[in-house]
Structure 1
Amino acid sequence: MVEDFKALRVIQEGAVLKVQLSSPETGNAISGLLLDELLSVLDALDEAGVRVLILSGAGADFCLGGDRGEFAPLLAADPGGASLRALGNKARRVCDALATTDAVTIARLHGGVVGAGLGLAVLCDLRAGADNCRFRLPELGLGVPPAWGGILPRLINETGAARIRELILTANNFDAAKAVELSILHKVVPEEELDSAITQWTRPLVRRSPAALRTAKAMMNAYSGANRLADATLLDAELLTAAVAAAEAARAR
């Protein structure tokens, strides 16, 4: 897989694809450009023969969340909110692709893992974190609902409704040890041992039957969504747009 990416660094090593969020000057904030590039990568996984995808971040943090600096200009240029809704729907497509790809996805986490960055991480099948990880769901403190990419059901399914309710309502920081307790992380190691810990997963995974892996992932995704009678996350882009518009209107008064 060879492309000239601007917000990502992508390296393929046989059946393993390493995808690094590569805007450390912004804390790897999730911009429209980054979403476009992630979608391009995820759409090409099968054709590239990828069995395992490792998602990481450059610099001091994995990802400090969505690029809120894009919100106000989009709304100013299009007061009806269509551009902002399009950005939200793009995030939803990326998150759906990450959750449902046939490749086994691994999040390699360090430093700050915040908001939408935590959402991307929890959509991965396996998650390893350095002991310096700091997690937070800050949306309510920023005046917006947790409506990004349709990630709320995944967070609830992985962690439990009561725990996620507390994290969202308080917007409290929590560390790697707490993340293991919450099942947000599968393992925690010193940062210098993170690559070795992930290799312990990738080595056996690339030897597994592709058909068996594909079927197992499809089964787990189906069972985890079996109790959802309606998918309210389809409204995420509308809810986010309305909240940002209200916040901008209040600031303008």
Structure 2
Amino acid sequence: MTHDFKTLLVSQDGPVLTVRLNVPETGNAVSGAVLDDLLTVLGALDDETGIRVLVLSGAGDDFCLGGDRAEFPALLAEDPRGLALRALGNKARRVCDALATTEVVTIARLHGGVVGAGVGLALFCDLRAGADTCRFRLPELGLGVPPAWGGIMPRLLHEVGAAKVRELVLTADNFDAETARELSILHKVVPEDELDAAIARWTKPLVRRSPSALRTAKLMMNAYGSANRLADASLFDAELLSSALSAARYARRG
């Protein structure tokens, strides 16, 4: 895959594509530019027939410390109606949908802080491995906004379960890698210096699988998972987030 990305480091080793968030000065905060680059990569995956596995990781000390908080007020100041913010939210939804539905097997390689939108990006990957020093948090309520980013709420409920999700969201408490594994947010927890080896133990057999069998298995799991939900209210995430941030802005001005 040949492309100059502003916010990602992309490398390919045979059938394995590694995509690294590369804005370490912001803790790899998810901005519109990051989403644009991710959409470019994910949009090309199914045309790159040699790629079987995508590994999503982060440069620097953290995987991802959440959404770019500086971008939200800037977008609202530029467009008080919230249209630009809604467009950003819809872009996040498209990225998360692409991670979940691409024919390529997606693996999250997590280290350091995994916060908010970072949890969302990881959750939409098929497999997730984390260093034993990872720190997780869903801070949205503490910041005065609902957890409405990329469809994270139904994904959390489906992967983790309603009772634990209520606790994570309402308390906005930090939790560690072992807790994340118990909650099925992580599949594997290893020392950070063993993280690449743990990822390799997944990728090596995956690249030998039949492409059609892998594709069908992913389609089946996504279809059966969707059948358990009569309606997906996360389609309104962008509207909810925009409305909440707009209300907060006007309340401060008032």
Shorter chain as normaliser: what TM range? over 0.9
Are residue 197 (structure 1) and residue 209 (structure 2) matched?
no
* Residue pairs, 1:103-252, within 5 angstroms: 103-252=104-253
Q: Which residue of 2 aligns with 1:17?
A: 17
Q: Which residue of 2 aligns with 1:37?
A: 37
Are residue 55 (structure 1) and residue 60 (structure 2) matched?
no
Query: Alpha-carbon deviations, 1:71-108, whole Å to 9, x = none?
Result: 11111111111111000001111111111000000000
Letter of the structure 1 residue corresponding to residue 22 of structure 2: S
Q: Which residue of 1 aligns with 2:81?
A: 80
| SS of the residue 1:225 aligns to | helix
- In the comparison of the two structures, how many residue pairs are matched? 253
Structure 2: how far apart are the matches of 1:20 and 1:242? Answer: 31
Letter of the structure 1 residue corresponding to residue 125 of structure 2: C
Structure 1: how far apart are the matches of 2:29 and 2:55? Answer: 18
Structure 2 gaps, min length 5: none
Structure 2: how far apart are the matches of 1:22 and 1:232? Answer: 32
Structure 2: how far apart are the matches of 1:128 and 1:29? Answer: 20
| SS of the residue 1:157 aligns to | helix
Query: Alpha-carbon deviations, 1:158-205, whole Å to 9, x = none?
Result: 110111111000000000010111011111111000000100000000
Query: Alpha-carbon deviations, 1:196-248, whole Å to 9, x = none?
Result: 01000000000000000000011111111112111111110000000000111
Letter of the structure 2 residue corresponding to residue 197 of structure 1: A
Are residue 70 (structure 1) and residue 71 (structure 2) matched?
yes
> What percent of counterpart residues are identical?
74
| SS of the residue 2:220 aligns to | helix
Structure 2: how far apart are the matches of 1:52 and 1:221? Answer: 17
Hey, which bits of structure 1, 4+ residues long, moved more than 2 A?
Answer: none
Give the TM-score normalised by structure 2: 0.98
Structure 2: how far apart are the matches of 1:147 and 1:241? Answer: 9
**Structure 1 residue 150: deviation in Å?**
1.0
**Structure 1 residue 35: deviation in Å?**
0.2
| SS of the residue 2:193 aligns to | helix
**Structure 1 residue 28: deviation in Å?**
0.1
Letter of the structure 2 residue corresponding to residue 22 of structure 1: N
Letter of the structure 2 residue corresponding to residue 158 of structure 1: E
**Structure 1 residue 144: deviation in Å?**
0.3
Q: Report the aligned-residue RMSD.
A: 0.7
Structure 1: how far apart are the matches of 2:177 and 2:74? Answer: 35
| SS of the residue 2:45 aligns to | coil
| SS of the residue 1:179 aligns to | helix
Structure 1: how far apart are the matches of 2:238 and 2:159? Answer: 22
Structure 1: how far apart are the matches of 2:174 and 2:152? Answer: 19
Q: Which residue of 2 aligns with 1:27?
A: 27
| SS of the residue 1:43 aligns to | helix
